[in-house]
Chain A
Amino acid sequence: MALLLSVLEQGFIYTILALGVYITFRILDFPDMSVDATFPLGAAVTAMMISKGFHPLLTLPASLIAGALAGALTGFIHVKLHVRDLLAGIIVMTGLYSVNLHIAGSANVQLFLYNTMFKNPAVSALPYEVQTYVPVALIALLAFAVKFAMDAYLATRSGFLLRATGDNPTLVASLAKDSGKVKILGLSIANALVALAGCVMCQHQRYFDVSMGTGTLVIAVASVIIGTRLLSGLRFLGATLAVVIGSVIYKACVALALELGLSPFDLKLVTAALLLAIIVLGGNRKKVKRHA
């Protein structure tokens, strides 16, 4: 039971992350490496604010804004300074590492003595049996709120333009819109969500570690691919719901592997192998653009 709860808790945190990466990876077709640093950026902002005594809920909008700014910077470097997409992300990722250290104040910040959105007097006042389910309920609520907000956004005029930008930038120019600005907007939204996931993760595990972002993109991409590929047969599921399910499945696989005796040393290797297998079997290799 405890294992199931932890899978769901972490799985839904990955959902927020994966929904953000869905925007860059799937919609914009942009390999955004900056997420490896915006995830800990959200956590750093959260650790700093909580240890300074801010209300835990205030960390949510704060990390959203921090992530959005970082994403906009990646977009600016790519669009306005004409740096290749992958390099733009790597530059921001590298720079943010120091920024994260400055924000958090050290490479490790422990929050065990502070109130978080999961552990505070209001939660402690609840009956013990209920308390166990508070984190999973809160995280699931947040993950589904993000999912429905994204569904709603993608149906708006601005959302249509975002989808068109990844699909066919020429059409966006034909509609008298600047596809560069739309890209910057998309990267902002994506990294805002990734930082939000970092914020929730930090409060959930109650510590910040500057290297917690390593492999963020891989986790998110694996979740997106599992969701959209393995569930592609189920047409009635929207793409965002597929991402929600994909991230929980991904987390469950990892938890199961560890439970079956996989050494944490090998975790990243197994993750990489798993991702490769999914990509090859799922047919998600470099796609030939289907024009004409």
Chain B
Amino acid sequence: MLELRSILKIYQGGTVNETCLFDDFNLTIPDRQFVCVVGSNGSGKTSLLNIICGSIPIDEGCVIVGGKNITPMPEYKRHRRIGRVYQDPGKGTCPSMTILENMSMADNKGKPFNLLPCVNRRKTEEYRAMLAQLGLGLEDKMGVQVGSLSGGQRQAMALLMSTMTPIEFLILDEHTAALDPKTAEVIMQLTGRIVAEKQLTTIMVTHNLRYAVEYGDRLLMMHQGHIEMDLAGEDKRRLQVADLLTRFNEISIECGN
């Protein structure tokens, strides 16, 4: 279980531009829940993910995972149990290294990065099979530098790499936003499959309302640091894109944008 308790987050504190994003923000996510988060720009979606991952500090409150307070834990240590895919496909892979090297490195997460060879030839077939299920032809490019792949191919690899080793949480930060509709569809299907297979607790931020309706078993709509809408179970299943869009527009009209 992941809990955010009375989070206070102030940006540019102590200056005239001081803005309070979260004030006494609370959120509880049970294990194996797939949460979709929608909301306009500046509503606090990405900040929420950054707070969970420890990428940005908080002013007050605490982040609790499985009953343990992890607020003081640095970002890199939290990532032992977290896989994260970013909006920028470049952030999840190493451009100057080959596909095989990237996969081998991701496979070593959680183990010591010592002086043993990183690439294990015997595992090449396993990686090849994993890449083959993407249907992007990457399985025949094991020796190609990842920097020469397209954004969609890199994002697919980033998703595979972040979920290769045992993790508990998957954090998806608009991970289909930079992709064309067809590739985005492929990545979303892969996401759904991986989350179901590995039974991960997932938080997905998206601007695509259709994905938010189709995927996941809980939906949060954020607005100016508050949760405007929180639907789970039957309510979430009954939700239609049109309903969500209506609510989205209502909020936008209320605050004039």
Residues of chain A at the chain B interface (Cβ within 8 Å): 153, 155-161, 163-164, 167-168, 170-179, 289-292
Q: In the bound complex, do residue B76 and residue A177 qualify as a contact, i.e. CB atoms below 8 Å apart? A: yes
Question: Which chain B residues lie closer than 8 Å to A157 at the CB level?
Answer: 105, 108, 111-118
Q: In the bound complex, do residue A292 and residue B89 qualify as a contact, i.e. CB atoms below 8 Å apart? A: yes
Q: In the bound complex, do residue A164 and residue B94 qualify as a contact, i.e. CB atoms below 8 Å apart? A: yes
Q: In the bound complex, do residue A168 and residue B95 qualify as a contact, i.e. CB atoms below 8 Å apart? A: yes
With both chains docked as a complex, state the minimum distance between the C-beta of B37 and any C-beta of chain A, in angstroms.
20
Q: A160-B101, A176-B80 known; 19 other A-B pairs, CB under 8 Å?
A: A156-B114, A156-B117, A157-B112, A157-B116, A158-B115, A160-B104, A161-B105, A164-B105, A168-B91, A168-B95, A170-B86, A171-B93, A174-B162, A175-B108, A175-B113, A176-B79, A179-B76, A291-B89, A291-B95
Q: Of B84, B90, B118, which one neighbours A174 at CB under 8 angstroms?
A: B84
Q: In the bound complex, do residue B113 and residue A161 qualify as a contact, i.e. CB atoms below 8 Å apart? A: yes
Q: Of B77, B83, B97, B109, which one neighbours A167 at CB under 8 angstroms?
A: B97
Question: Which chain B residues lie closer than 8 Å to A153 at the CB level?
Answer: 115
Question: Which chain A residues lie closer than 8 Å to B101 at the CB level?
Answer: 160
Q: In the bound complex, do residue A158 and residue B76 qualify as a contact, i.e. CB atoms below 8 Å apart? A: no
Total contacting residues, chain B, CB less than 8 A: 40
Q: In the bound complex, do residue B94 and residue A171 qualify as a contact, i.e. CB atoms below 8 Å apart? A: yes
With both chains docked as a complex, state the minimum distance between the C-beta of A206 and any C-beta of chain B, in angstroms.
36
Q: In the bound complex, do residue B105 and residue A160 qualify as a contact, i.e. CB atoms below 8 Å apart? A: yes
Question: Which chain A residues lie closer than 8 Å to B154 at the CB level?
Answer: 292
Question: Which chain A residues lie closer than 8 Å to B83 at the CB level?
Answer: 174
Q: A163-B94, A163-B97 are in contact. Are A292 and B88 (CB under 8 A)?
A: yes
Q: Of B84, B86, B96, B178, which one neighbours A163 at CB under 8 angstroms?
A: B96
Interface centre among A177, A178, A290, A292 (most CB of B within 10 A): A292
C-alpha spacing A86/B109, complex, angstroms: 31
With both chains docked as a complex, state the minimum distance between the C-beta of A183 and any C-beta of chain B, in angstroms.
13
Q: In the bound complex, do residue A167 and residue B96 qualify as a contact, i.e. CB atoms below 8 Å apart? A: yes
With both chains docked as a complex, state the minimum distance between the C-beta of A214 and any C-beta of chain B, in angstroms.
32
Contacts A/B (CB < 8 Å), 6 sampled: A158-B113, A168-B93, A171-B94, A172-B76, A292-B151, A292-B154
Q: In the bound complex, do residue A174 and residue B93 qualify as a contact, i.e. CB atoms below 8 Å apart? A: no
Q: In the bound complex, do residue B115 and residue A292 qualify as a contact, i.e. CB atoms below 8 Å apart? A: no
Residue of A nearest to B112 (CB): A157
With both chains docked as a complex, state the minimum distance between the C-beta of A33 and any C-beta of chain B, in angstroms.
24
C-alpha spacing A168/B86, complex, angstroms: 13
Question: Which chain B residues lie closer than 8 Å to A159 at the CB level?
Answer: 118
Q: Is B42 an interface residue (CB 8 A)?
A: no
Main secondary structure of the interface of B (DSSP, over half): loop
Q: In the bound complex, do residue A176 and residue B115 qualify as a contact, i.e. CB atoms below 8 Å apart? A: no
Question: Which chain A residues lie closer than 8 Å to B118 at the CB level?
Answer: 155-157, 159-160
Residue of B nearest to A172 (CB): B76
Q: In the bound complex, do residue B94 and residue A167 qualify as a contact, i.e. CB atoms below 8 Å apart? A: yes
Question: Which chain A residues lie closer than 8 Å to B97 at the CB level?
Answer: 160, 163-164, 167
Q: Of B79, B88, B90, B116, which one neighbours A156 at CB under 8 angstroms?
A: B116
With both chains docked as a complex, state the minimum distance between the C-beta of A235 and any C-beta of chain B, in angstroms.
12
C-alpha spacing A179/B80, complex, angstroms: 14
C-alpha spacing A159/B117, complex, angstroms: 9
Q: In the bound complex, do residue A174 and residue B117 qualify as a contact, i.e. CB atoms below 8 Å apart? A: no
C-alpha spacing A171/B83, complex, angstroms: 10
Q: In the bound complex, do residue A160 and residue B95 qualify as a contact, i.e. CB atoms below 8 Å apart? A: no
C-alpha spacing A177/B108, complex, angstroms: 11
Q: Of A161, A164, A173, which one neighbours B79 at CB under 8 angstroms?
A: A173
Q: In the bound complex, do residue B94 and residue A168 qualify as a contact, i.e. CB atoms below 8 Å apart? A: yes
Question: Which chain B residues lie closer than 8 Å to A175 at the CB level?
Answer: 79, 105-106, 108-109, 113
C-alpha spacing A168/B101, complex, angstroms: 14
Question: Which chain B residues lie closer than 8 Å to A178 at the CB level?
Answer: 74, 76
Q: Is B147 an interface residue (CB 8 A)?
A: yes
Interface centre among A161, A163, A172, A175 (most CB of B within 10 A): A175
Q: Is B119 an interface residue (CB 8 A)?
A: yes
Q: In the bound complex, do residue A173 and residue B75 qualify as a contact, i.e. CB atoms below 8 Å apart? A: yes
C-alpha spacing A292/B183, complex, angstroms: 14
C-alpha spacing A28/B106, complex, angstroms: 19
With both chains docked as a complex, state the minimum distance between the C-beta of A241 and any C-beta of chain B, in angstroms.
17
Question: Which chain B residues lie closer than 8 Å to A171 at the CB level?
Answer: 91-94
With both chains docked as a complex, state the minimum distance between the C-beta of A251 and any C-beta of chain B, in angstroms.
28
Question: Which chain B residues lie closer than 8 Å to A177 at the CB level?
Answer: 76, 113
CB-CB contacts below 8 Å: B112-150 with A: 112-119, 147
With both chains docked as a complex, state the minimum distance between the C-beta of A282 and any C-beta of chain B, in angstroms.
17
Question: Which chain B residues lie closer than 8 Å to A173 at the CB level?
Answer: 75-76, 79
Q: Is B13 an interface residue (CB 8 A)?
A: no
With both chains docked as a complex, state the minimum distance between the C-beta of B146 and any C-beta of chain A, in angstroms.
9
C-alpha spacing A136/B27, complex, angstroms: 69
